[in-house]
């Protein structure tokens, strides 16, 4: 199987819980799979949009949106929600970088994490329900694609906040380990997906994702001098919510 296809399947394996035959994967690193993150996100968004559109014919918009968001959580194994919860607990409860990282490693969810995940689910559900029917597919695909793209600039510019080694986690596998061509290729995929979905209106989702990536990156650097895998999950959640807000804004 050609290497780009293996890299794409590597991104599918990391970002979703879709079962894949082992022979489709091979020895692909997370950094090699990273440029395909936006494409996988777009496909996840396409499936979520299809669920929402079908159910809108039979349920109130808020009910259809709730089922679609539940699908997004299940298909990704709550990976990004878990990252958001750990990040909120760590930064909310820690006063030093060491304490923040210690709290983030704790598998138990605290009050900050519970509140953050609840707000994320409620906000996304509400904003998706407010999308006009004609815009559902466009904003689902763009939100899920661009939110995964937001990982790439953070992974390029920021080092891992944890020491290296097996215990460093997923953040260390990406932080400062992706190249300029990887970022460029991933950005081109994200541009194609967003422009194909939203055409001239794609500049607003791009703007909010760029702002979210830059703001969170600066915050992570100031607080912990780097990034972790949980930080990536939090950025994905924030960016997706921001893009849905663009679609619901009147």
Q: Does position 166 have pLDDT exceeding 50, yes or no?
A: no
Q: What is the mean pLDDT of residues 122-148?
A: 97
Candidates 244, 220, 225; CA nearest to 87 is 220
Please count the other Cβ atoms lying within 10 Å of the Cβ belonging to residue 10: 24
pLDDT of residue 84: 97
pLDDT band (50, 70, 90) for residue 21: confident
Q: Does position 163 have pLDDT exceeding 90, yes or no?
A: no
Taking phi over 0 as left and psi of -120 to 50 as alpha, with beta for the rest, 225 belongs to left
Domain ranges of the chain: 3-248
Q: Which of 12-26, 41-55, 130-144 has the least mean pLDDT?
A: 12-26
Q: Is the distance from CB of 58 to CB of 155 less than 8 angstroms? A: no
What are the tokens at 138?
A: 């466009």
Number of residues in the chain: 250
2: DSSP letter: -
Report how far residue 215's alpha carbon sits from residue 223's, in angstroms, rounded to the nearest whole number.
Answer: 12
pLDDT digits (tens, 9 = 90+) for 60-109: 999 999 999 999 999 999 999 999 999 999 999 999 999 999 999 988 99
pLDDT digits (tens, 9 = 90+) for 186-212: 999 999 999 999 999 999 999 999 999
Q: Does position 243 have pLDDT exceeding 80, yes or no?
A: yes
Report how far residue 39's alpha carbon sits from residue 172's, in angstroms, rounded to the nearest whole number.
Answer: 22
Q: Is the distance from CB of 117 to CB of 85 less than 8 angstroms? A: yes
pLDDT of residue 168: 58
* Radius of gyration over every alpha carbon of the chain, rounded to an integer in angstroms: 17
Report how far residue 174's alpha carbon sits from residue 243's, in angstroms, rounded to the nearest whole number.
Answer: 24
pLDDT above 90 as % of the chain = 83
């Amino acid at each position: 199987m050609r290497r780009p296809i293996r890299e794409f399947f590597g991104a599918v394996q990391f970002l979703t819980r879709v079962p894949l035959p082992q022979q489709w994967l091979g020895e692909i690193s997370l950094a090699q799979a990273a440029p395909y993150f936006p494409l996988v996100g777009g496909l996840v968004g396409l499936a979520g949009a299809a669920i929402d559109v079908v159910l809108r014919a039979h349920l109130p918009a808020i009910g259809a949106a709730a089922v679609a968001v539940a699908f997004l959580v299940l298909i990704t194994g709550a990976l990004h929600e878990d990252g958001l919860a750990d990040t909120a607990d760590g930064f909310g409860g820690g006063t030093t970088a060491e304490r923040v990282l210690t709290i983030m490693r704790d598998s138990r969810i605290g009050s900050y994490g519970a509140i953050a995940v609840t707000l994320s689910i409620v906000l996304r559900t509400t904003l998706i329900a407010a999308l006009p029917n004609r815009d559902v597919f466009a904003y689902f695909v763009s939100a899920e694609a661009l939110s995964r793209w937001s990982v790439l600039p953070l992974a390029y510019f920021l080092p891992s906040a944890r020491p290296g080694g097996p215990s460093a986690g997923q953040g260390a596998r990406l932080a400062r380990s992706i190249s300029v061509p990887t970022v460029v290729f991933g950005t081109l995929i994200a541009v194609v997906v967003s422009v194909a979905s939203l055409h001239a209106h794609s500049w607003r989702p791009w703007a909010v994702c760029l702002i979210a990536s830059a703001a969170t990156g600066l915050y992570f650097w100031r607080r912990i001098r780097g990034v972790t895998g949980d930080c990536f999950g939090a950025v994905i959640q924030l960016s997706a919510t921001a893009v849905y807000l663009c679609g619901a804004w009147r």
